[in-house]
Structure 1
Amino acid sequence: MKNNALLIFTRNLELGKVKTRLAKTIGDEKALKTYKDLLLHTMKVTQSLDYDKFVFYDKTIDYNDLWAGFSYKERLQSGADVGVRMQDAFQQLFELGYQNCIIIGSDLFDLQDSHINEAFSKLKYNVDVIGPAEDGGYYLLGLKKVIPSLFKNKNWGTAAVLSDTMKDLENYKMEFTETLNDSDTFEDLEKSSYYKTLKSNLNNG
């Protein structure tokens, strides 16, 4: 019986289409380079994890990118907004027979494999697990079943997402993982453990 599945949401690498808030400070080309680094970090953190792993692209599946040659199954996001797309992705995996599903984004230089392992461990005894982000959203969501209200009536990308999600989970057994910092703005990057490397790359790029 299939048990654990890790879902990784990514954006296709398109100039001017990724890290748009960051690009307002450092420009489109450096924002694209930063997102490439974020994807590489996410891959390095997850590639050795002993779960079935699925990469969900936002527009088209790229069979020749950095995920190729590793144990990632590639799928396409579907839906008008991120809530619909996440719900659809979860539903796909539960229909395949997985019992515990965790979704993460690809925006965190501070994410480590220990955060994901901890979340799967906690999901054994809870209906859901959340990894809060410092900006008021979340970087990780683990579920044992689809809870439709989690994906509806949310102002995605705002500081209200986590608090609104918590209201939907009042009657469910849940736990949290460590609060981490998304890398959406230049101020976010300055807080990141990866900032020194990024600063060097950006200065030389």
Structure 2
Amino acid sequence: MPAETLANRPVLPQLHLLAKAPLAGQAKTRLAPLLGDQGAANAHAELLRHCVANVCQALPAENVTLWTALDHAHPLFIELHEQFGLTLKHQPDGDLGARVRHALNHTPGPAMVMGSDCPSITSALITACAQQLTHNDVVILPAEDGGYGLIGAQQDYPGLFEGIPWGSHQVLSATRQRIEALGLRAAYPATIWDIDRPEDWQRWKEVAAAL
């Protein structure tokens, strides 16, 4: 391939996936009324496997980092590392904004961060986000519940993650306001949904059965 063609190829972003270990009573606890503590942990493991498979279909494994929490040596994390060849890192302390910003800035150049409970983020959507990030400062996949399932940035933008009411229905609107205040260009390719409540899990089971 000619050198000029290589030079014009877009830089693939790094993708950082945040995930807890699937420990009973500590993962997907809002699913416990339907599934029980262990069932909720098993559901979390299923979602994480699905999300990792989608990510590694969209991007090469060397571009993917799984940021672990609760039990960094959990067998599921080791399984995913060995199966897909992705990198494992420990999530740092701090609120969600601090952890997302840390992951985005862990590698130079464009990067994206997503959670492990958004099976509606397909490999095609991840590819679309990577493409959008080549000509936007920020890319976001808004979630139906008022948050977002993926965020990407070309570089570090101080203030983007500060003062956001994490865990509330105002996360997306507050982030949009921050993007506008910082004068950044943003793309919102699609709206997705994540799995927090029993009805979300039942929705996913219906979708998965049709795949």
Q: TM-score when scaled to structure 2? A: 0.84
CA–CA distance in structure 2, aligned partners of residues 88 and 161 of structure 1: 18
Per-residue Cα deviation, 1:104-158 (whole angstroms, up to 9, x for no partner): 1110222210010000100000000000011100000010112232222122121
Name 2:166's counterpart in structure 1: 156
**Match runs of 1:29-178 below 5 Å:** 29-51=38-60, 52-62=63-73, 64-94=78-108, 99-170=109-180, 171-178=183-190
1:182 aligns with 2:194: yes
CA–CA distance in structure 1, aligned partners of residues 99 and 30 of structure 2: 21
One-letter amino acid of the counterpart of residue 148, structure 2: Y
Structure 2 unaligned residues grouped into runs of 5+: 1-6
Q: Is the helix fraction higher in 1 or 2?
A: 2
Equivalent residues, number: 193
Name 2:19's counterpart in structure 1: 10
CA–CA distance in structure 2, aligned partners of residues 186 and 89 of structure 1: 29
User: Contact 2:12–2:130 at 8 Å: present in 1 too?
Assistant: no
Residue 103 of structure 1: CA displacement? 0.7
CA–CA distance in structure 2, aligned partners of residues 50 and 185 of structure 1: 29
Residue identity (%): 27
C-alpha change, 1:15 and 1:75, in structure 2 (3 Å) is same
C-alpha change, 1:114 and 1:21, in structure 2 (3 Å) is same
Residue 196 of structure 1: CA displacement? 6.3
Structure 1 unaligned residues grouped into runs of 5+: 199-205
CA–CA distance in structure 1, aligned partners of residues 45 and 124 of structure 2: 22
CA–CA distance in structure 2, aligned partners of residues 15 and 67 of structure 1: 22
Give the secondary-structure state (helix, strand or coil) at the position aligned to 2:106.
helix
